[in-house]
């Protein structure tokens, strides 16, 4: 019943009501909680749900923390970082990319994304230092080449 109500609100572009309906679903339907939280996050990213950016950012951080509960994988951290970046919470995204890099140190795509975001946020010197360090401690040729490619 709540699913149908939520879909109706979305079709009518009543995004705050859609949000509240999926909050109820996330609380009541433990089996599908993760899917409901993902829907809540997408709604927060795409639509005007709250009046201020501060409220929106607070809600995104809260729902991300609920989504990540019990998940310590690099995939969860990368997903979280991407959502934070899309929401404009870039410093938080950098922290999440760093967490993912610790969990998956040999991931060249992750390293390059982390340093791109750092440079874009004005941390170019730190991004260069990170890439230089990664090149020095590279465990294989692919990691070395990836770090050097980031420097070029």
Q: What was the pLDDT predicted at 74?
A: 62
Q: What was the pLDDT predicted at 142?
A: 74
Name the H helices within 29-140.
Answer: 33-46, 53-68, 74-86, 90-103, 108-120, 124-136
Q: What is the pLDDT of residues 11-52, one digit of tens each?
A: 999 999 999 999 999 999 989 888 898 899 888 988 889 888
Query: Look-up: residue for tokens 């979280």?
Result: 80
Global confidence as pTM: 0.66
Q: What was the pLDDT predicted at 118?
A: 93
Q: What was the pLDDT predicted at 104?
A: 83
Which tokens in the block code for residue 33? 């909680």
**CA 134 vs CA 74, 94, 125, 140: distances in Å:** 18, 17, 14, 11
What value does the mean pLDDT take over residues 83-102? 88
Q: What is the pLDDT of residues 54-78, one digit of tens each?
A: 898 899 888 888 887 756 666 677 8
- Spell 101-135 as b/e; 16+ CB within 10 A means b: bebbeebbebbbbbbebbbeeebeeebeebbeebb
Query: Look-up: residue for tokens 């791109």?
Result: 116
- The answer, yes or no, to whether residue 94 has pLDDT greater than 90, is yes
């Amino acid at each position: 019943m709540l699913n149908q109500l939520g879909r109706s609100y979305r079709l009518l572009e009543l995004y705050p009501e859609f949000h509240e309906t999926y909050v109820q679903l996330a609380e009541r339907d433990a089996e599908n909680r993760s899917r409901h939280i993902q829907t809540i996050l997408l709604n927060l990213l795409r639509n005007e749900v709250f009046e201020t950016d501060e409220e929106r950012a607070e809600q995104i951080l809260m729902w991300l923390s609920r989504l990540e509960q019990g998940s310590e994988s690099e995939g969860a951290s990368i997903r979280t970082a991407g959502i934070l970046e899309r929401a404009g919470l870039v410093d938080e995204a950098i922290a999440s990319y760093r967490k993912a890099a610790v969990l998956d140190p040999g991931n060249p795509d992750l390293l390059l994304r982390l340093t791109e975001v750092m440079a874009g946020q004005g941390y170019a010197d730190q991004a260069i230092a990170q890439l230089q360090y990664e090149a020095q401690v590279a465990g294989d040729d692919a990691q070395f080449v990836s770090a050097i490619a980031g420097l070029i």
